[in-house]
């Protein structure tokens, strides 16, 4: 009944015309897909990147309290987490269908919803990072620690947010997305900090943090390399770029003279990683 997709009954017609060899290009009767694709805009994967830096900065700021000569770096990191929380909020509010109702995100506290928990964590960083950045002494330290707790959650929950859906790729990748996103956040923070003048001690601290992040990012990325969703379409190109830039950044970082180049590669890699994961998921809902 059906021959080469053109619904021509071989008993009734033979394919002898000039154009008869054309394959079917207009999909009239393709299978309907079950799932609905996410309606999110590119601001969402961009938020994953910014939110990751925000959370990582909050955590590193708290760790730096342990060493007095790192207190200036700690303060700078608290300011970065404050700025990051504001940029994150703008990105997320922009993606809402009804942005004027953004405060409804804090209407309930729903532990079953990663988005609910993440909204509260972001609000926490927004609320705690400013007094943490401005105050000194025990009060400043307390706010820095509270900020770090919220920040640790912020840098890791987005992986769970994606996995807590029916999207086939995000479900398949769910055990590797958390270390991928957290490692990416750590590496992105190190890259961002290269924009500031850093002492040798600060370079070592930030460098170690970034190196561990790159190990997590590269390791989790290797585990995901085989997933079919990352080998098709736009996600494939983004993922290749992500892997190349991330590996390149790790190599170039071995040379202290090329820190800026390493930072650029790491940033590009981190952004490409988030966008690749995002678009791979969206495509996987379409069958």
Q: Which of 80, 133, 146, 205 binds another protein (CB under 8 A)?
A: 205
- Does position 279 bind another protein by CB under 8 A? no
Question: Is residue 94 a contact partner of residue 41, using CB atoms and an 8 Å limit?
Answer: yes
35 contacts another protein (rule: CB under 8 A)? yes
Candidates 10, 12, 50, 20; CA nearest to 275 is 50
Scanning 113-121, 122-130, 250-258, 260-268 for contacts with another protein by CB under 8 A, the matching segment is 113-121
Long-range contacts, stretch 164-168, CB < 8 angstroms, 24+ apart: 164/113, 164/114, 165/38, 166/35, 166/285, 167/35, 167/38, 167/281, 167/282, 167/284, 167/285, 168/35, 168/229, 168/284, 168/285
CB of 68 to another protein, least distance (A): 11
Task: Tell me if 102 contacts another protein by CB under 8 A.
Answer: yes
Binding region for another protein (CB under 8 A) out of 11-19, 208-216, 227-235, 240-248:
208-216
Residue 32 contacts residue 282 (beta carbons within 8 Å): no
- Site residues for another protein, window 116-135 (CB under 8 A)? 116, 119
Site for another protein in 221-250 (CB under 8 A): none
What DSSP character marks residue 24? Answer: P
Residue 59 lies near another protein (rule: CB under 8 A): yes
> Minimum CB separation from another protein for residue 208, in Å?
4
Q: In the complex, what is the shortest distance from the CB of residue 276 to another protein, in angstroms, rounded to a whole number? A: 17
3-state secondary structure of 184: helix
User: In a 10 Å sphere around its CB, with 0-12 CB exposed, 13-18 middle and 19+ buried, how is residue 7 labelled?
Assistant: exposed
**Residue 131: HSE in the Cβ half-sphere, 13 Å Cα cutoff:** 14
| Cα three-residue angle 82-88-93, rounded to 5 degrees | 130
Please give the structure tokens belonging to residue 131.
């007094």
- The reply to whether 153 sits near another protein by the rule CB under 8 A is yes
Task: Choose one: 15-23, 108-116, 245-253, 269-277; the region binding another protein (CB under 8 A).
Answer: 108-116
For residue 273, the minimal CB distance to another protein (Å) is 15
* Span of 38-46, 134-142, 246-254, 261-269 interacting with another protein by CB under 8 A: 38-46
Give me the least distance between CB of 37 and another protein, in Å please. 7
Options 25, 29, 195, 254; binder of another protein; rule CB under 8 A: 29
């Amino acid at each position: 009944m059906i021959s080469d997709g053109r619904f021509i009954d071989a008993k009734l017609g033979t394919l002898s015309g000039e154009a008869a060899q054309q394959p079917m290009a207009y999909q009239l009767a393709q299978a309907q897909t079950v799932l609905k694709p996410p309606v999110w805009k590119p601001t969402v994967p961009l938020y994953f990147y910014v939110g990751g830096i925000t959370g990582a900065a909050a955590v590193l700021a708290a760790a730096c309290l342990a060493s007095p000569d790192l207190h200036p770096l700690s303060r700078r990191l608290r300011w970065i987490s404050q700025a990051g929380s504001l940029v994150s909020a703008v990105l997320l509010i922009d993606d809402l269908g009804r942005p004027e109702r953004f405060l409804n995100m804090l209407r309930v506290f729903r532990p079953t919803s990663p988005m609910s928990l993440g909204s509260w964590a972001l609000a926490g960083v927004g609320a705690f990072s400013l007094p943490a950045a401005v105050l000194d002494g025990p009060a400043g330290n307390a706010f820095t620690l509270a900020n770090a707790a919220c920040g640790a959650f912020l840098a890791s929950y987005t992986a769970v947010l994606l996995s807590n859906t029916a999207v086939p790729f995000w479900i398949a990748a769910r055990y590797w997305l958390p270390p991928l996103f957290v490692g990416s956040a750590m590496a992105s923070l190190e890259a961002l900090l290269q924009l500031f003048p850093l002492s040798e001690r600060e370079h070592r601290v930030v460098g170690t943090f970034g190196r561990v992040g790159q190990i997590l990012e590269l390791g989790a990325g290797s585990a995901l390399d085989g997933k079919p969703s990352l080998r098709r379409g736009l996600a494939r190109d983004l993922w290749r770029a992500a892997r190349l830039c991330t590996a390149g950044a790790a190599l170039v970082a071995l040379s202290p003279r090329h820190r800026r180049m390493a930072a650029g590669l790491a940033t590009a890699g981190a952004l490409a990683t988030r966008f690749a994961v995002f678009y791979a998921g969206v495509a996987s809902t379409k069958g």
